[in-house]
Structure 1
Amino acid sequence: MNSALIPAAREGRFLLLLGALVAFGPLAIDLYLPALPAIAAGLGASAAQVQASITVFLAGFALGMLFYGPLSDRYGRRPVMLAGIALFTLASLACLLAASGEQLVLARFVQALGGGAASVLARAVVRDVYAPAEAIRKLSLMAMVTAIAPLLAPLLGSGLLLAFGWRGTFAAVLLWGIASFAVVWRRLPETLAPGQRGQLPLAAAFAAYFRLATDPLALGLLLAGGMSFAAMFAYITGSPFYFIEAQGWTPQAYSFLFAANALGIFAANFVNSRLVRQRGGAVLAGVGSGMSLLAALVLWLAIGNPAATLAVIAMLFIVVATTGLLGANCVGLLLARYPQNAGAAAALFGSAQFGLGMWASAAVAYEHAPDGRRMAGVILGCALASFAGYLLYRHAARRAG
């Protein structure tokens, strides 16, 4: 633990910066959601092709994280993070200049490869600085900052769409990348001291993944947190077309709904930061997985009923909000179990989130249908898998004593 690196007077700004770095993924996705139909029209692409730009972003994010974690355990957090942010920024420029759906999809993949560095290493930095129990609380506070991105990004994106067209959304992401690189360069210290870095060859640093992948307790946490995140991305991929096309909402009205759901993530993390010391991360993760499963079941029953729109909105709110309980607690418990491989553990957790999110997104986009049935079915499947993962974790934890 290197808490001396961060004076108490600067702790708030430190957590604010880390929360903003974790927001790379949500910001790069949520900002352009209201513009998805406009992007399809502007590039002459199909709805499925534009939705694929979300899917490949998730794939790139998941893949990039797997490299950044062990690299940072070996060489330090700061240089690896700066390299990733630089790649993200250059690819954001390519997204802005894309002339076809194929070019956009490729640029989004490269953009995600870079963006994964900031998101995963910000979590590893928390484990470097804080003890395990306090780290979960700090991760919840960071997640409250991160939740501001999906809260404001669709509203900002719809405003940029009106003022500048769909390319304005990518211009904003480009500026975000430039600003983030400058702030990290000037303000973020190296938190992993040379003596704490692995001295083994790089191949041995990647071997930490084998230990994680064969640990039932770790697998349960990865499944519980990852499938909850996947349910949210099923919602992200399907909801613009369900509400804008099938329900006839305007992009601006949809943005307000999306922001309200993001507010649920903020609220869940606020509650978690207050209760985790008394209740423990394991208990709160169980509450989140149970609530998500119940809400997903009601959503699946209600989605085909034209008179149940309010129920659909309410159940989506619960499904999205509970990712706040599962995310911070599951990753915090995982980092506490693997303190010497915090980068690899954070990377594998983030990769599981975005990798499973990719498959959920692809399942919703497959054979595009705006009626919401496929979205609700995928969300239910994800919630079931998340709850099963939590049960696996509790069973493994009891056996481990």
Structure 2
Amino acid sequence: MRPERGFLVLSAALCALAPLSIDLGLPALGPLTRALGVAPARGGLTLAVFMAGFALTPLVFGTLSDRRGRRGPLLAGLVLYSLGGLVCTLAGSFDALLVGRLLQGMGAGAGPTLAMAATRDRLHDAALKRRLSALTACLNLAPVIAPSLGTALLALGGWRAPYATLAAAGLLLLAACMAGFAETHRVADRPHLRTDLAELIRAPRSLAMIGVYAASAASMFAWVTLSPLVLMERLHVAPPLYAALFALAACGIVTGAVLSPRLAARIGTHRLLAAALALSIAAPLLAAALLVLAPDWRTLMPTMIAATFAYGLIAPTAAHAALDPLPRIAGTASAVMNAAQVATMAAASALASWAFTLADLFALPVAMIVFALLSAAIVLFQPAGGRAD
């Protein structure tokens, strides 16, 4: 395998580590709570503690990588992730399982942060845009295959099998990175964290695009949070059909990510971002109108696929605009971007869940519109000099 292609495969696997770790274990939540003797409602804590760990460590790994290089922090994160997977696999109590999930989340925080930073080290301009689009596509393929794979593993080996698979994947990825992940960022001046953050603060375009990246991800997470309630509970979609519709929506993201660099080259980054943001607002607005006129999954899904397609256009475009101007502190910028994404996704989940108690199925388009409008507002009111090219 050519070095550049091998680096792409490793980067894609690192970016997919977190979504796989979340979705692969979902089918096992019921069996593991029964096996470990806890209430079914506590199964959700395995996701909460993973996300907590995942939110905490990107800033640590990212800023450390700017001062010490990418390779060392990445390997440390993969060791931590693999250790967490082993703890989960061997857990004899629910508390031990939660400790393992926390370690997994903390280790997984190194993956997308350092993969994107290393990608910026190696590429820039149009080449960077194409590579970030490919990583976005790979990242969003993970939720398509993970639930089905998790169900198969559950049938083969019980609730421990998904966690054993994640531990094995972590060890395999650790070995692959030790063999094939060369250092991409060597620094002579060993900059301090305050210097890095000050440089980021003085980059209004990058800060604005980090905000767009995070807010648009929050709009998508509102869909992730409420889609089972809206489709299965209110629109009476059967579970197999729901899985197919969810996968179809994820394919909308992949399609948008694949087309993003080509469209940017043809019409320009600023026009592409403006059009994608407009679509991300218009699609849930149309969804709300259609739910009033004819509440049916057949009318809802085309608008949701349009919204996910818009996100596929936005995410790599915003990530490129955020990272490309900051080669020296790409680790810190990537870390802030990923931490902001996790924070807004948590806010979106909380807002969407609360809105569902008030507005029922209309909570889905409303929550998506709120964060889509926030993304558009950031672009419209970013400081002078912050406009994307």
The TM tier, using the shorter chain, reads: 0.7 to 0.9
Which amino acid counterpart does residue 253 of structure 2 have in structure 1? I
Any conservation in 2 of the 1:206–1:344 contact (CA below 8 Å)?
no
Which secondary structure does the structure 2 equivalent of 1:139 belong to? helix
Q: Does 1:383 align with 2:377?
A: no
Question: In structure 2, do the counterparts of structure 1 residues 325 and 231 end up closer, same or farther at CA, with 3 Å as the change threshold?
Answer: same
Counterpart for residue 85 of structure 2: 92
Deviation readout 1:260-310 (Å, 9 max, x if unpaired)? 122112111111132333333333222222211111223344457773222
Deviation readout 1:341-390 (Å, 9 max, x if unpaired)? 11111111111111211221233345986954444432222111112122
- CA shift for structure 1 position 197: 4.9
Which secondary structure does the structure 1 equivalent of 2:109 belong to? helix
Counterpart for residue 124 of structure 2: 131
Counterpart for residue 238 of structure 1: 226
Detail structure 1 runs of 4+ shifted over 6 Å in the superposition: none
Any conservation in 2 of the 1:76–1:197 contact (CA below 8 Å)?
no
Worse overlay, 337-346 or 375-384: 375-384
Counterpart for residue 268 of structure 1: 256
Question: In structure 2, do the counterparts of structure 1 residues 335 and 160 end up closer, same or farther at CA, with 3 Å as the change threshold?
Answer: same
Question: In structure 2, do the counterparts of structure 1 residues 60 and 274 end up closer, same or farther at CA, with 3 Å as the change threshold?
Answer: same
Any conservation in 1 of the 2:84–2:99 contact (CA below 8 Å)?
no
Counterpart for residue 381 of structure 2: 392
Which amino acid counterpart does residue 87 of structure 2 have in structure 1? A
Question: In structure 2, do the counterparts of structure 1 residues 155 and 40 end up closer, same or farther at CA, with 3 Å as the change threshold?
Answer: same
Q: Does 1:57 align with 2:50?
A: yes
Q: Does 1:199 align with 2:190?
A: yes
Any conservation in 2 of the 1:54–1:361 contact (CA below 8 Å)?
no
Which amino acid counterpart does residue 392 of structure 1 have in structure 2? F
Q: Does 1:185 align with 2:178?
A: yes
Question: In structure 2, do the counterparts of structure 1 residues 382 and 45 end up closer, same or farther at CA, with 3 Å as the change threshold?
Answer: farther
Question: Which of the residues 113, 121, 125 maps onto 1:120?
Answer: 113
Counterpart for residue 259 of structure 1: 247
Q: Aligned partners of 1:297 and 1:35: how far apart in 2?
A: 36
> What is the percentage of aligned positions where both structures have the same residue?
32
Q: Aligned partners of 2:50 and 2:201: how far apart in 1?
A: 24
Q: Does 1:45 align with 2:39?
A: yes
Q: Where do 5+ consecutive residues of structure 2 fail to align?
A: none
Any conservation in 1 of the 2:204–2:383 contact (CA below 8 Å)?
no
Which amino acid counterpart does residue 39 of structure 2 have in structure 1? A
Q: Aligned partners of 2:93 and 2:281: how far apart in 1?
A: 39
Question: Which of the residues 321, 333, 336 maps onto 1:345?
Answer: 333
Q: Does 1:313 align with 2:313?
A: no
Worse overlay, 151-160 or 333-342: 151-160
Any conservation in 1 of the 2:356–2:362 contact (CA below 8 Å)?
no
Which amino acid counterpart does residue 91 of structure 1 have in structure 2? G
Q: Aligned partners of 1:233 and 1:304: how far apart in 2?
A: 23
- CA shift for structure 1 position 324: 2.0
Which secondary structure does the structure 1 equivalent of 2:185 belong to? coil
Q: Where do 5+ consecutive residues of structure 1 fail to align?
A: 1-6
